[in-house]
Amino acid sequence: MTYATTVLGHSPAALNDVGSLFANAKKPMIIVGQAALARPDGAAVLAASWRLAAQVGALTNDWHGFNVLHTAAARVGGLDLGFVPGANGKVLDAMMGGGVDLLWLLGADEFDTSRIGAETFVVYQGHHGDAGAHRADVILPGAAYTEKNGTYVNTEGRVQRGFKAIYPPGEAREDWTILRAFSEVIGHKLPYDTIEAVRARMEQVNVVFSRIGFLPRFGAADQTGPSGDPAMLSDRPLVPAIANYYQTDPISRSSPTMAACTQALLGTPALAAE
């Protein structure tokens, strides 16, 4: 099988000129990186991408060829569960520099922890002792994905299940059990004593979690919130959201093999927790 790569340009404006390249595609697919949507013209990028998907036949009854590639694992599943700031919620910037008294980092290592205010009490729940653990006042050892049963949502939006391969080491526990135990300590006991109960609650929040392997289908008409104008695309170049592809998470940053890949292929030192 032979693949050909064509560089269309380095700015989102190229979205207006690529439709003809899909003329013979049987199953055209558009994949938009999250970083492109976080730019000032992100709404325009999203609108232009949806329009392109519709124009080239990527949205049909038997094929859904529009996908957003996020830069953080579990973000799609979190959005499906409604994990967004509420009316009185705080976004990341507001939590830095003393914006909150208590900051609970649930495997959160992909940001500059030096921004956290010195007076903020930090609880870190995760594994492999990455950046968040080095800033924590209290560490609650969680389980890696190989050490727990889990529910995942892939780039397409399909809900999938993972199964425990080995037990967590030492005193590490599956994440939901840590949160369940903490809830009882503070007098707000969660009503989940089994993973089946947790999954039942997830299904109540969003029915998509009851349909394992099912592909939800969405079109441009399903967009919510302010819609963008494709005509407002900027000529400002796109930039990579990830500097080091080989070490993007706590497990790969702890891997000698991935460190060797970084050194050999990128010529830069491997990343490591301070």
Q: What is the reported pLDDT for 61? A: 80
**Is the predicted pLDDT of residue 3 greater than 80, yes or no?**
no
Contact between 220 and 59 (Cβ < 8 Å): yes
pLDDT band per the 50, 70, 90 thresholds, residue 274: very low
Average pLDDT over residues 134-154: 93
Q: Do residues 106 and 124 make contact, with C-beta atoms less than 8 angstroms apart?
A: no
Domain count of the fold of the chain: 2
Residue 219 lies in a domain: no
Supply the range of the domain harboring residue 91: 87-133
Burial class (CB in 10 A: 0-12, 13-18, 19+), 46: buried
> What pLDDT digit, counting tens, does each position of 39-93 carry?
999 999 998 999 899 889 988 888 888 888 888 888 889 989 988 877 666 666 7
pLDDT of residue 223: 61
Rounded CA separation 232/181 (Å) = 50
Average pLDDT over residues 173-179: 95
- Which residue among 79, 114, 133 closes a domain? 133
Reported pTM: 0.80
Q: Per-residue pLDDT for 196 more than 50? A: yes
Instruction: Round the average pLDDT of the chain to a whole number and report it.
Output: 86
Q: What is the pLDDT of residue 63?
A: 85
Please identify, among 71, 99, 133, the residue that sits at the C-terminal boundary of a domain: 133
Residue 261 has a pLDDT of 87
Q: Decide if pLDDT at 235 tops 90.
A: no
**Confidence band for 118, pLDDT divided at 50, 70 and 90:** confident
Residue 266 lies in a domain: yes
Q: And the tokens for 149?
A: 């049963």
- Residue 271 has a pLDDT of 57
Single residue among 133, 161, 193 that ends a domain in this structure = 133
54 belongs to a structural domain: no
